[in-house]
Amino acid sequence: MIRSVCGYCGVGCGLEFDEKKLVGDLTYPINEGVVCAKGVSELMTMQTPTRLLRPYVRKDFNSAWEKVSWELPLDLIVNKIKKSDPQKIGIYLSGQLLTEDYYVANKLGKGFIGTNNVDTNSRMCMASAVVGYEKALGLDYVPVRMEDLNRCNLLIIIGANPAEAHVVFSNRIKQAKKSGMKVVVIDPRYTETAAYADLYLPIRPGADIDFLNLVALRLITDNHIDHQFLENSVNGYDTYLKKIKKQPKTKLLKRTGLTKAQFEVFMKLFYENENIISAWTMGLNQSVQGVDKNLAVINLHLLTGKINSPGNGPFSLTGQPNAMGGREVGGLATTLAVHLGFDTESIQKVSSFWQTDKISDQVGLTAFEMIEAAERGELDLLIICHTDPIYHLPNRKRVEAAFEKIDMVVEINAYEDSESAKFAHIRLPATPWGEKEGTQTNMDRTVTKQEKLTRRSIDCKDDWEIFTLIGQKLGFSSAFDYQHPKEIFNEYKEMTRLSRKGHLNLYESDYDALREKPFIWGEKLYKEQGFLTPNHKASLHFIENLRLSETTNLKYPYMLITGRIKDQWHSTTKTGVVRQLLRHKKLSFVEINSSDAKVEGIKSGDIVDVMTARGTLSLSAVVTDAIREKTLFIPVTERKINYLTTDLLDHESKQPDYNQNAAAILKRIST
Ligand SMILES: Nc1nc2c(c(=O)[nH]1)N[C@H]1C(S)=C(S)[C@@H](COP(=O)(O)OP(=O)(O)OC[C@H]3O[C@@H](n4cnc5c(=O)[nH]c(N)nc54)[C@H](O)[C@@H]3O)O[C@H]1N2
Ligand SMILES: Nc1nc2c(c(=O)[nH]1)N[C@H]1C(S)=C(S)[C@@H](COP(=O)(O)OP(=O)(O)OC[C@H]3O[C@@H](n4cnc5c(=O)[nH]c(N)nc54)[C@H](O)[C@@H]3O)O[C@H]1N2
Ligand code: SF4
Ligand SMILES: [Mo]
**What pLDDT, on a 0 to 100 scale, did the predictor assign at position 124?**
98
Is residue 563 within 6 Å of ligand 2 at its C-beta?
A: yes
Residues in the chain: 671
**What pLDDT, on a 0 to 100 scale, did the predictor assign at position 579?**
62
Q: Distance of alpha carbon 310 from its chain centroid, rounded?
A: 25
**What pLDDT, on a 0 to 100 scale, did the predictor assign at position 481?**
98
Asked whether the predicted pLDDT for residue 227 surpasses 70, the reply is yes
Q: Using CA atoms, how far apart are residues 636 and 530, in angstroms rounded to an integer?
A: 39
The backbone torsions φ and ψ at residue 113, rounded to the nearest 5 degrees and listed phi first, read -75, -30
Indicate if the alpha-carbon torsion angle 301, 303, 306, 309 is positive or negative: positive
Q: Using CA atoms, how far apart are residues 651 and 287, in angstroms rounded to an integer?
A: 10
Q: How far is the CA of 638 from the centre of ligand 1 (A)?
A: 15
The backbone torsions φ and ψ at residue 383, rounded to the nearest 5 degrees and listed phi first, read -105, 120
**What pLDDT, on a 0 to 100 scale, did the predictor assign at position 20?**
65
Q: How far is the CA of 104 from the centre of ligand 1 (A)?
A: 30
What is the 8-class DSSP label of residue 305? T
Q: How confident is the model at residue 40 (pLDDT cuts 50, 70, 90)?
A: confident
Is residue 658 within 6 Å of ligand 2 at its C-beta?
A: yes
Question: DSSP states of 50-95 as a string?
Answer: TB--S-EE-SSTTSPPEE--SHHHHHHHHHHHHHS-GGGEEEEE-T
- Nearest residue by C-alpha to atom 13 in ligand 1: 319
**What pLDDT, on a 0 to 100 scale, did the predictor assign at position 27?**
58
Q: How far is the CA of 96 from the centre of ligand 2 (A)?
A: 8
Asked whether the predicted pLDDT for residue 28 surpasses 80, the reply is no
Q: How far is the CA of 616 from the centre of ligand 1 (A)?
A: 23
pLDDT (tens digit, 9 = 90+) per residue, 408-452?
A: 999 999 999 999 999 999 999 999 999 999 999 999 999 999 999
Inter-helix orientation angle 249-256/208-221, to 10°: 140
Lowest average pLDDT, out of 61-65, 193-197, 220-224, 381-385, goes to 61-65
pLDDT (tens digit, 9 = 90+) per residue, 506-534?
A: 999 999 999 888 999 998 876 676 798 98
**What pLDDT, on a 0 to 100 scale, did the predictor assign at position 30?**
55
pLDDT (tens digit, 9 = 90+) per residue, 540-559?
A: 999 999 999 999 999 999 99
Query: Which secondary-structure segment (H or E) carries 303?
Result: helix 290-304
**What pLDDT, on a 0 to 100 scale, did the predictor assign at position 596?**
98
pTM over the 0.95 mark: yes
**What pLDDT, on a 0 to 100 scale, did the predictor assign at position 44?**
77
What average pLDDT does this structure show over 366-372? 98
Is residue 40 within 6 Å of ligand 3 at its C-beta?
A: no
Task: Judge residue 360's burial from the number of C-beta atoms within 10 Å of its C-beta, 0-12 exposed, 13-18 middle, 19 or more buried.
Answer: middle
Q: Distance of alpha carbon 594 from its chain centroid, rounded?
A: 32
Is residue 234 within 6 Å of ligand 3 at its C-beta?
A: no
Q: How many alpha carbons fall within 13 Å on the CB side of residue 127? A: 30
pLDDT (tens digit, 9 = 90+) per residue, 595-635?
A: 999 999 999 999 999 999 999 999 999 999 999 999 999 99
Is residue 30 within 6 Å of ligand 3 at its C-beta?
A: no
Look at 26 and 180; give whichever has higher pLDDT. Answer: 180
Q: How confident is the model at residue 46 (pLDDT cuts 50, 70, 90)?
A: confident
- Nearest residue by C-alpha to atom 2 in ligand 3: 9
Percent of the chain surpassing pLDDT 90: 87
**251 close to 88: Cβ distance less than 8 angstroms:** no
The closest-lying atom of ligand 3 relative to the alpha carbon of residue 6 is 8
Q: Which of 166, 172, 433 to mutate to test the pocket of ligand 3 (most atoms within 8 A of CB)?
A: 166
Asked whether the predicted pLDDT for residue 580 surpasses 70, the reply is no
**What pLDDT, on a 0 to 100 scale, did the predictor assign at position 439?**
98
Q: Using CA atoms, how far apart are residues 352 and 409, in angstroms rounded to an integer?
A: 32
Alpha helices in 95-207 (DSSP H): 99-106, 127-137, 162-165, 167-178, 192-195
Amino acid at 72: L
Q: Using CA atoms, how far apart are residues 444 and 14, in angstroms rounded to an integer?
A: 14
Q: Which residues contact 123 (CB under 8 A, 6 or more apart)?
A: 332, 333, 366, 367, 368, 653, 654, 655
Percent of the chain surpassing pLDDT 70: 96
Judged by DSSP in three states, 398 sits in helix
pLDDT (tens digit, 9 = 90+) per residue, 377-418?
A: 999 999 999 999 999 999 999 999 999 999 999 999 999 999
577: left (phi over 0), alpha (psi -120 to 50) or beta: alpha
Alpha carbon separation from 411 to 240, 382, 383, 421, 631 (Å, rounded)? 47, 8, 6, 7, 36
Task: Judge residue 212's burial from the number of C-beta atoms within 10 Å of its C-beta, 0-12 exposed, 13-18 middle, 19 or more buried.
Answer: buried
Q: Cis peptide leading into 29, omega within 30 of 0?
A: yes
**What pLDDT, on a 0 to 100 scale, did the predictor assign at position 582?**
62
Q: How confident is the model at residue 346 (pLDDT cuts 50, 70, 90)?
A: very high
Q: Using CA atoms, how far apart are residues 585 and 580, in angstroms rounded to an integer?
A: 11
Q: What is the dihedral of CA 28, 317, 8, 571, to 10 degrees?
A: 170
Is residue 170 within 6 Å of ligand 1 at its C-beta?
A: no
- Nearest residue by C-alpha to atom 10 in ligand 2: 124
What average pLDDT does this structure show over 23-44? 72
How high does pLDDT run on average in the chain? Answer: 95
Asked whether the predicted pLDDT for residue 490 surpasses 60, the reply is yes
**What pLDDT, on a 0 to 100 scale, did the predictor assign at position 47?**
73
Alpha carbon separation from 340 to 264, 334, 499, 501, 662 (Å, rounded)? 43, 9, 7, 11, 39
Look at 28 and 284; give whichever has higher pLDDT. Answer: 284
